[in-house]
């Protein structure tokens, strides 16, 4: 079992000025505000909630039982309250990258601080980009165009900003993340409060470098703003493929503007890099780009999404990438860069260490801990409802899904699940009203139209069902999400088959199986093929279903029918 070398870890941190030792000082010095109102100690611990501004006042959160419990645990080097990410880094001796160092430099007089020294704000997901490693709670573009979900509810109300105001004079630094802070009204509200109250503390802004204009310049003029620019590549091809919707030339122009500002005002500018499968090959050139600008480059360790993370690769594939990076270094001497060479060495060493079973298992432990803690802190009524649906406990599922309130960020999804349950229960009037409620929340996603199409199909109102299904298909074409595509294909196939348009139905059934190779969908296509008299293909689908579910009675029946029809045709 991995162990922490506490002496080596603390030696690497430089804690001579600290009045006591703790594995991490985040809960003593900082609060981090998330887009959904959750308050946590830092951005890496997303599962142990200190509170939520929709339910508790700020004073209750800062002085509450949960923050005290986290402090106590970390004083004892216990990482079980959501701190598994840093535990994994420390156990892997990634001391150069371990996130706890962020809080080691903040002032701390005792173990009962009256005020936090730092507040970190990710209080809006307003963003014009759809980066491949991001998700809807941090990007309004992804939420609308990829996840087909309505805007996040506004949880930061007037009461929050009133409570926040008395904390601002005590801060040593305020940090703003996104989303894109220079697009977020909530960030400007905090900046305006500080300007009104004569507060001129350092502000750190992590920006995608797409914004420049009078509003941005006003903030830069009033505060000493330290900037972290997220670019994630050095070529137009890589940057625009990772940071979707970005314009490479505009980013380079704004990078120069921000750099000139920092040079004139004596503030700090840095670059950040999400080191991933899609851009590891440009990491060295990015470090050199930072070197040429005279700025530091910070590395963001990506664990999720899985298809972006280097750390979730099989060890042999990661070893191969490390070898290629070592070859790059031999040619380009990235490790010898005066300012950023250490980051090259640190990143490469972290990847080497992770290319063994112990560290790969550590990544799995992080994911398991996050999933388990998610269930404790934020009961997932949606997942629970689906599990009850699959267990054919529809009334229980209905009770569970109705626990999601109208202001919840998953209210739209919950309404669609509720409609599905009511339809399965045969309560069509209630189902219709629930679909109407979903459409009131959000009309630009296909999900509710799919549910209404199924309802119309059950009611044998086939033309209306087709209109709703085609509306859903149109919305799917307008957006960038592929997630609802199987659902749209499924309902279209069912409707067209009922209308006798079997060839068209077959096209959509094929699309469905391209995305979801499940027994029920093979059987769905087999039924259409039966109507078309294509019994060889029908048999192939029935047998494919039997491979997945050998005891499936419907698959067995269809296979018998197909074989019988084949035999009959041969006999003729």
444-497: pLDDT as tens digits = 888 999 999 999 999 999 999 999 999 999 887 765 554 558 899 999 999 999
Percent of the chain with pLDDT over 90: 68
280-331: pLDDT as tens digits = 999 999 999 999 999 999 998 888 888 899 988 888 899 999 999 999 999 9
CA-based angle 426:512:134, to the nearest 5?
100
> How far apart are the C-alpha atoms of 205 and 199, rounded to whole Å?
17
60-111: pLDDT as tens digits = 999 999 999 999 999 998 988 888 888 888 888 877 778 888 898 898 889 9
Question: 3-class SS at 423?
Answer: helix
149 Rama class: left (phi>0) / alpha (psi -120 to 50) / beta: beta
pLDDT: which is higher, 63 or 358: 63
> How far apart are the C-alpha atoms of 523 and 541, rounded to whole Å?
7
> How far apart are the C-alpha atoms of 303 and 316, rounded to whole Å?
18
Confidence at residue 46, expressed as pLDDT on a 0 to 100 scale? 82
> How far apart are the C-alpha atoms of 491 and 505, rounded to whole Å?
9
Confidence at residue 377, expressed as pLDDT on a 0 to 100 scale? 37
> How far apart are the C-alpha atoms of 131 and 468, rounded to whole Å?
31
> How far apart are the C-alpha atoms of 541 and 372, rounded to whole Å?
38
Q: Which residues contact 221 (CB under 8 A, 6 or more apart)?
A: none
Say how many C-beta atoms besides its own lie within 10 A of residue 382's C-beta: 18
> How far apart are the C-alpha atoms of 414 and 524, rounded to whole Å?
27
Mean pLDDT of 114-127: 96
Residue 175 sits at φ, ψ, to 5 deg, of -120, 140
Residue 375's pLDDT band, with cuts at 50, 70 and 90, is very low
Question: 3-class SS at 405?
Answer: coil
Confidence at residue 378, expressed as pLDDT on a 0 to 100 scale? 40
- 468: enclosing H helix or E strand: helix 462-478
500 Rama class: left (phi>0) / alpha (psi -120 to 50) / beta: left
Give Cα separations from 222 to 172, 183, 203, 215 (angstroms): 16, 18, 10, 11
DSSP state letters, 287-318: HHHHHHHT-EEEEEEP-SSTTT-STTS-HHHH
Say how many C-beta atoms besides its own lie within 10 A of residue 211's C-beta: 15
Tell whether omega for the bond before 217 is within 30 degrees of 0, i.e. cis.
Answer: no
Give 3: exposed, middle or buried? Use CB within 10 Å, 0-12, 13-18, 19+.
Answer: exposed
DSSP for residue 173: E
Confidence at residue 478, expressed as pLDDT on a 0 to 100 scale? 61
> How far apart are the C-alpha atoms of 27 and 355, rounded to whole Å?
32
Confidence at residue 17, expressed as pLDDT on a 0 to 100 scale? 84
Say how many C-beta atoms besides its own lie within 10 A of residue 80's C-beta: 11
> How far apart are the C-alpha atoms of 394 and 181, rounded to whole Å?
43
pLDDT of 372 > 50? The answer is: no
pLDDT: which is higher, 8 or 172: 172
pLDDT: which is higher, 192 or 144: 192
Among 255, 205, 393, 462, residue whose Cα is nearest residue 247: 255
pLDDT of 557 > 90? The answer is: yes
Best-predicted range by mean pLDDT among 71-75, 224-228, 346-350, 372-376? 224-228
Q: Which residues pair with 121 in a beta bridge?
A: 33, 176
Residue 188 sits at φ, ψ, to 5 deg, of -65, -30
CA-based angle 249:250:253, to the nearest 5?
90
Residue environment code for 398-429, b if the CB has 16+ CB neighbours within 10 A, otherwise e: bebbeebeeebbbbbbbbbbbbbbbbbeebee
> How far apart are the C-alpha atoms of 173 and 16, rounded to whole Å?
22
> How far apart are the C-alpha atoms of 267 and 203, rounded to whole Å?
10
> How far apart are the C-alpha atoms of 185 and 400, rounded to whole Å?
35
Residue 194 sits at φ, ψ, to 5 deg, of -70, -40
Q: Which residues contact 460 (CB under 8 A, 6 or more apart)?
A: none
DSSP for residue 441: H
Q: Which residues pair with 270 in a beta bridge?
A: 228, 296
Mean pLDDT of 204-231: 97
241-269: pLDDT as tens digits = 999 999 999 999 999 999 999 999 999 99
Residue 363's pLDDT band, with cuts at 50, 70 and 90, is low
Among 395, 400, 408, 370, residue whose Cα is nearest residue 383: 400
Taking a C-beta distance cutoff of 8 angstroms, is the pair 313, 321 a contact? yes
535-547: pLDDT as tens digits = 999 999 999 999 9
Mapping DSSP onto H, E and C, the string for 35-55 reads CCCEEECCCCCCCCCCEECCC
> How far apart are the C-alpha atoms of 460 and 319, rounded to whole Å?
58
DSSP state letters, 316-344: HHHHHHHHHHHHHHHHH-GGG-TTTHHHH
> How far apart are the C-alpha atoms of 471 and 453, rounded to whole Å?
10
pLDDT of 367 > 70? The answer is: no
Give Cα separations from 17 to 13, 105, 108, 109, 468 (angstroms): 11, 9, 9, 9, 66
Say how many C-beta atoms besides its own lie within 10 A of residue 234's C-beta: 20
What are the structural domain ranges in the chain? Answer: 1-25+46-113, 268-373
């Amino acid at each position: 079992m991995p162990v922490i070398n506490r002496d080596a870890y603390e030696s690497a941190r430089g804690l001579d000025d600290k009045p006591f030792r703790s594995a991490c000082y985040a809960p003593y010095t900082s609060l981090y505000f998330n887009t959904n109102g959750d308050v946590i100690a830092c951005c890496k611990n997303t599962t142990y909630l200190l509170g939520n501004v929709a339910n508790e006042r700020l004073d209750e959160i800062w002085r509450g039982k949960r923050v005290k419990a986290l402090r106590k645990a970390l004083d004892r080097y216990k990482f079980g309250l959501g701190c598994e990410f840093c535990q994994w880094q420390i156990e892997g001796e990634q001391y150069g990258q371990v996130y706890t160092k962020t809080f080691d430099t903040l002032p701390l007089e005792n173990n009962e601080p009256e005020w936090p020294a730092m507040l970190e704000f990710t209080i809006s997901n307003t963003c014009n980009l759809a980066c491949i490693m991001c998700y809807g709670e941090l990007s309004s573009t992804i939420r609308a165009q990829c996840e087909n979900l309505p805007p996040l509810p506004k949880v930061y109300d007037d009461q929050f900003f009133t409570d926040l105001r008395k904390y601002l004079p005590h801060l040593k630094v305020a940090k703003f993340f996104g989303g894109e802070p220079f697009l977020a009204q909530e960030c400007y509200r905090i900046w305006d409060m500080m300007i009104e109250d004569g507060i001129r503390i350092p502000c750190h802004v992590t920006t995608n470098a797409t914004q420049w204009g009078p509003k941005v310049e006003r903030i830069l003029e009033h505060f000493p703003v330290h900037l972290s620019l997220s670019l994630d590549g050095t070529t137009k091809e890589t940057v625009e493929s990772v940071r979707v919707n970005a314009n490479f030339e505009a980013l380079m122009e704004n990078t120069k503007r921000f750099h000139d500002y920092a040079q004139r005002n004596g503030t700090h500018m840095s670059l950040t890099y999400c080191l991933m499968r899609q851009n590891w090959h440009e990491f060295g050139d990015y470090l050199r780009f930072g070197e040429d600008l005279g700025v530091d480059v910070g590395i963001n360790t990506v664990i999720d999404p899985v298809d972006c993370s280097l750390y979730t690769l099989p060890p042999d594939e990661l070893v191969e990438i490390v070898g290629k990076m070592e070859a790059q270094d031999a040619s380009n001497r990235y490790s010898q860069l005066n300012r950023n060479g250490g980051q090259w060495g640190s990143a490469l060493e972290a990847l080497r260490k992770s290319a063994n079973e112990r560290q790969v298992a550590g990544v799995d432990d992080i994911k398991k801990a996050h999933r388990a803690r998610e269930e404790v802190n934020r009961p997932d009524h949606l997942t629970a409802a689906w599990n009850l649906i699959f267990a054919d406990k529809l009334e229980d599922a209905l009770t569970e899904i109705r626990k999601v309130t109208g202001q919840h960020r998953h209210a739209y999804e919950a309404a669609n699940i509720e409609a599905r349950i009511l339809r399965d229960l045969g309560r069509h009037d209630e189902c219709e009203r629930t679909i109407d409620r979903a459409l009131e929340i959000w009309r630009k996603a296909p999900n509710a139209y799919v549910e209404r199409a199924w309802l119309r199909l059950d009611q044998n109102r086939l033309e209306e069902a087709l209109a709703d299904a085609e509306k859903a298909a149109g919305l799917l074409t307008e957006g960038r999400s592929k997630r609802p595509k199987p659902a749209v294909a499924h309902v279209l196939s069912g409707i067209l088959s009922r209308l006798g348009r079997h060839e068209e139905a077959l096209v959509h059934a094929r699309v469905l199986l391209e995305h979801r190779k499940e027994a029920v969908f093979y059987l769905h296509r087999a039924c259409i093929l039966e109507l078309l008299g294509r019994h060889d293909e029908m048999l192939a689908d029935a047998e494919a279903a039997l491979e997945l579910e050998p005891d499936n009675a419907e698959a067995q029946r269809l296979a018998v029918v197909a074989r019988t029809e084949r035999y009959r045709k041969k006999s003729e």
